[in-house]
Amino acid sequence: MFITLLIVTFFISLIVSGVIVRMFERPIEKILRRITADDISQGWLKYMKFAIYVVGISSGVRIWSLEKYITPLQVEGSQVIQLTSERWVLEVYGTVIGTLQGIAWLLLVFFIFALIAFVIIRAFEIRRPQIQETQEHSMS
């Protein structure tokens, strides 16, 4: 029963992560194209997809939480917790929420750094014409 739970939580995390990748693929691609060169942005996009899957699955499949179904508690005379239908529902719910929470943190960090990079790039773009005008006036 434990192996089944492990496999189910893995596939639920994989599916939720896949849905999030599909939802955010275009926005991430547009952001990366804007702040990096076109040829390198595709590599970064692949890395971001990979990171979403890794973070989503590792956040959704909480191995340390699932150990309670195979290891008795440290209290003397305690038994292994049984996997009832109620516990299955809680574990599936926890998997979905954990996956979404992990990916949300990853995307928040990505978007914060992307915003900082965008502001820096924008500042240089605004200054570039001013510098060019100054150089043209000094040459004339």
pLDDT given at position 62: 86
Q: What is the pLDDT of residue 73?
A: 66
Range of the domain at 22: 2-112
Q: Is 118 among the domain residues?
A: no
pLDDT for 2: 76
Q: Tell whether 17 is covered by a domain.
A: yes
In a domain, 8, yes or no: yes
**What percentage of the chain exceeds 90 in pLDDT?**
51
In a domain, 119, yes or no: no
Q: What is the pLDDT of residue 103?
A: 97
Q: Which pLDDT tens digit goes with each residue over 42-98?
A: 999 999 999 999 999 999 998 877 777 777 666 666 676 777 888 889 889 999 999
140 within some domain: no
Helix (H), strand (E), coil (C) string for the chain:
CHHHHHHHHHHHHHHHHHHHHHHHHHHHHHHHHHHCCHHHHHHHHHHHHHHHHHHHHHHHCCHHHHHHHCCCCCCCCCCCCCCCHHHHHHHHHHHHHHHHHHHHHHHHHHHHHHHHHHHHHHHHHHHHHHHHHHHHHHHC
The pTM assigned to this predicted structure is 0.80
What pLDDT is recorded for position 69? 72
pLDDT of residue 22 exceeding 70: yes
**Within a domain: 33:** yes
Q: Does residue 130 sit within a domain?
A: no
Residue 136 lies in a domain: no
Q: Which of 37-41, 100-104, 116-120 has the highest mean pLDDT?
A: 100-104
Mean pLDDT, the chain, as a whole number? 86
